[in-house]
Structure 1
Amino acid sequence: MLDINKVRADFPILNEKVNGKPLVYFDNAATSQKPQVVIDAVANYYATINSNIHRGVHTLSQLATDAYEISRQKIQQHINAKHSHEVLFTNGTTHGINLVANGFAPFVKQGDAILISAMEHHSNIVPWQMLCERVGADLLVIPMNDKGELLMDAFEKLLTEKVKLVAVNHISNSLGTINPIEHIITKAHAVGAAVLIDGAQSAPHLRPDVQALDCDFYTFSGHKVCGPTGSGILYGKEEWLNKMPPYQGGGEMIKEVTFEKTTYADLPHKFEAGTPNIAGGIVLGTAIEYLNSVGLDNIMAYEQELLEYGTKKLLEIEGLKIYGTAQNKTSVISFNVGNIHPYDIGAIVDKMGIAVRTGHHCTQPVMDFFKIPGTVRASFSFYNTKQEIDALVASVLKAQRMLS
């Protein structure tokens, strides 16, 4: 079982006050807070082994290189990748998706199609639009219903041999829906399509097993899993990473350079040009270790408890509507209250020391589907409490009284 008091003691920012009130942080889908062990690991890197990696024979460079590659192995084990060189360090999910979209151009031609879903983050829409415009392919969209669930019958009708890649999120950042990616991957592979899974919202809540999923690509951000900003990973199957061209040129990704020709380094360095976020890569491994010490099963169970409690309490507010009521969802509640603009509610809630997100959450097509300008989004993490949810409910009721 998760010891909530012990967990909260690991996060120094939870002792802060905002506008004179104890901080209640419900913006976890945007970024997670950092435990002391992660904060200390960043400082320790710069204080003890700061050096560039892979290029130096001196001791500090070797120590930093070892720490960086050990972190890669920790992440490999966490996601159950077959090889450590299938784990590429990136600066986040957006970077990972763009890397694949750029590298996939040789495998998509005019008349082919890329298939995404109606609930994607802009980062899993725009790169594919750019690819389709570049090669003359079509961008197809899996529709969803009013609950925020993908329509699988429509998906299967859209899925023809023209589809070369399917890119979907594991969990919707604006609705909390957990998508049936196992089914999507199996069906996509049956027509010869590759599959990219945007795991930005799933990695904080569950442990992805990329071999069991059999996805071709899986990407997530470090800052959403209690790690540093500017860090992340892209998992890619070895066969795809070997076929794809490099995303960027420069140092680290080369084997030999002449003015006539350049040959590229082996995986994973082929896709890791330039000096990386060394501290971020090393400390991402620390963050993953921390999550595993708490226990992903414990995290999932507790966050589900928070979701059920928060849903029940918020729905007691007259006129409150939740967007995203899928049967299978995680700890995200997007809502509006009557005709009150979500920004106005968010501003008043903030005065009470409670951090929520308002707006379209980088999912404008989702908001257009529901014909709303945006929502108030409360996203819970394993360091939140039911008492904090009670405080949110009280602040939303106060905002309702003030704005009605």
Structure 2
Amino acid sequence: MLDINKVRADFPILSRTVNGKPLVYFDNGATSQKPQIVMDAITKYYQEINANIHRGVHTLSQLATDAYEISRGKIQNHINAKFAHEVIFTSGTTHGINAVANGFASILKPGDEVLVSALEHHSNIVPWQMLCEKTGAVLKVIPMNENGELIMAEYDKLLSDKTKIVTVNHISNALGTVNPVKYMIDKAHEFGAAVLIDGAQAVPHLKPDVQALDCDFYVFSGHKICGPTGVGILYGKEAWLNKLPPYQGGGEMIKEVSFEKTTYADLPHKFEAGTPDIAGGIVLGTAVDYMNSVGFDNIQQQELELLEYATTRLLEIEGLKIYGTAKEKTSVVSFNIGEIHPYDIGTIVDKLGIAVRTGHHCAQPIMDFFKIPGTIRASFAFYNTKEEIDVMIDALKRAQMMLS
């Protein structure tokens, strides 16, 4: 069982006040808070082993390189990748998606098809649109229903021999829907298509097993899993990473350079041009260790209880509508109250110390589907409590009274 008081003590920011009120942080879908052990690890790196990696024979460089590669191994174990060199450090989910989309520009031809879902974040839409414009491929969309679930019967119909890659999020950032990605991967593979899973919203809640999923690519960001900003992971099957050209050229990703020809380094360095966020890469391993020490079974139990409690309490508010009522869902609740603009609600509850997200959440097609400008999104983490939800409910009722 989770000792919530002990867990909350790991996060110094949770004890601060905002606008004179105790902070209630319900914007975990945007970024998670950081435990003290992660912040200490960042300081320790810069104080004790700050040096560039993979290039120096001096002691600090070797220490930094070892720490960086140890972290890569931690990520490999965490997601159950077959090889450490299938784990590529990136600046985040967006970087990983763009690296794959850029690589597919050398594969696609006019008339080929790319499938995305109606539930995607903009970062898993725009790179594929750009790819299709460049190659003449066609972008097709897997539709959703009123519950915020993808329609699998329509997905099955869209798949064909023209489908070259399917790209879908594991969990929707706007609605919290958990997509049936294993089914989608298996079906796509029947047609010889590759599959990229956007795991940005999944990794805070579960441990993805990339070999069990059999996905070809899996991407996520460190800052959503209690790690620092500016670092993320692109997992790719070895065969695919060898097949795709590098996303960027520069130092580190080369084997030999002449003015006549350049040959690229082996994996993973082929996709890691330039000096990376070394501290971020090392400390991402620290964050993963921390999450595993809490335990993902404990995390899921706590977050499911918060989701169920928040849903029940929110529906007490007259005129409140929840968007995203999928059977499989994680700890995200998107809602509006009557005709009140979500921005106005968000502004008032912020004055009461409550951090929620308002707007389209970089998922404008979802908002267009529901014919709304945006929603109020409360996204919960394992360090949140039911008492905090009660505080939010009181604040929402107060905001509703002021704005009605």
Q: What TM-score do you get using the length of structure 1 for normalisation?
A: 1.00
Aligned partners of 2:231 and 2:111: how far apart in 1? Answer: 36
State the SS of the aligned residue for 1:81. Answer: coil
Paired residue for 1:248? 248
Aligned partners of 1:212 and 1:172: how far apart in 2? Answer: 21
Amino acid of the residue matched to residue 64 of structure 2?
Answer: A
Paired residue for 2:387? 387
Deviations 1:228-262, CA, capped at 9 Å, x for gaps = 00010000000000000010000000000000000
Aligned partners of 2:306 and 2:189: how far apart in 1? Answer: 36
State the SS of the aligned residue for 2:106. Answer: helix
Paired residue for 1:260? 260
Instruction: Using the TM superposition, give the Cα deviation of residue 14 of structure 1 relative to its aligned residue in structure 2, in angstroms.
Output: 0.4
Aligned partners of 1:33 and 1:39: how far apart in 2? Answer: 11
Amino acid of the residue matched to residue 193 of structure 1?
Answer: A
Deviations 1:321-366, CA, capped at 9 Å, x for gaps = 0000001000000000000000000000001100000000000000
Aligned pairs for 1:226-305 (under 5 A) are 226-305=226-305
State the SS of the aligned residue for 1:50. Answer: coil
Amino acid of the residue matched to residue 32 of structure 2?
Answer: S
Deviations 1:66-85, CA, capped at 9 Å, x for gaps = 00000000000000000000
Size of the alignment, in residue pairs? 404
Aligned partners of 1:22 and 1:157: how far apart in 2? Answer: 51
Aligned pairs for 1:1-12 (under 5 A) are 1-12=1-12
Aligned partners of 2:396 and 2:159: how far apart in 1? Answer: 43
Aligned partners of 2:63 and 2:54: how far apart in 1? Answer: 10
Instruction: Using the TM superposition, give the Cα deviation of residue 107 of structure 1 relative to its aligned residue in structure 2, in angstroms.
Output: 1.6
Aligned pairs for 1:117-128 (under 5 A) are 117-128=117-128
Instruction: Using the TM superposition, give the Cα deviation of residue 13 of structure 1 relative to its aligned residue in structure 2, in angstroms.
Output: 0.2
Instruction: Using the TM superposition, give the Cα deviation of residue 104 of structure 1 relative to its aligned residue in structure 2, in angstroms.
Output: 1.1
Paired residue for 2:160? 160
Aligned partners of 2:106 and 2:189: how far apart in 1? Answer: 19
What fraction of aligned residue pairs are identical, expressed as a percent?
Answer: 77
State the SS of the aligned residue for 2:234. Answer: strand
Paired residue for 1:337? 337
Paired residue for 1:222? 222
* Unaligned runs of at least 5 residues, structure 1: none
Paired residue for 1:22? 22
Deviations 1:263-303, CA, capped at 9 Å, x for gaps = 00000000000000000000000000000000011101110
Paired residue for 2:31? 31
State the SS of the aligned residue for 1:106. Answer: coil
Aligned partners of 1:320 and 1:380: how far apart in 2? Answer: 19
Instruction: Using the TM superposition, give the Cα deviation of residue 147 of structure 1 relative to its aligned residue in structure 2, in angstroms.
Output: 0.3
Instruction: Using the TM superposition, give the Cα deviation of residue 116 of structure 1 relative to its aligned residue in structure 2, in angstroms.
Output: 0.5
Aligned partners of 2:347 and 2:187: how far apart in 1? Answer: 44
Aligned partners of 1:140 and 1:2: how far apart in 2? Answer: 43
Aligned partners of 2:158 and 2:274: how far apart in 1? Answer: 40
State the SS of the aligned residue for 1:305. Answer: helix
Kindly report structure 1 stretches of 4+ aligned residues shifted beyond 2 Å.
Answer: none
Q: What is the CA RMSD across the aligned residues, in angstroms?
A: 0.3
Aligned partners of 1:255 and 1:55: how far apart in 2? Answer: 13
Aligned partners of 1:381 and 1:104: how far apart in 2? Answer: 35
Paired residue for 2:372? 372
Amino acid of the residue matched to residue 57 of structure 1?
Answer: V
Amino acid of the residue matched to residue 206 of structure 1?
Answer: L
State the SS of the aligned residue for 1:107. Answer: coil
Amino acid of the residue matched to residue 256 of structure 1?
Answer: E
Aligned pairs for 1:92-241 (under 5 A) are 92-241=92-241
Amino acid of the residue matched to residue 101 of structure 1?
Answer: A
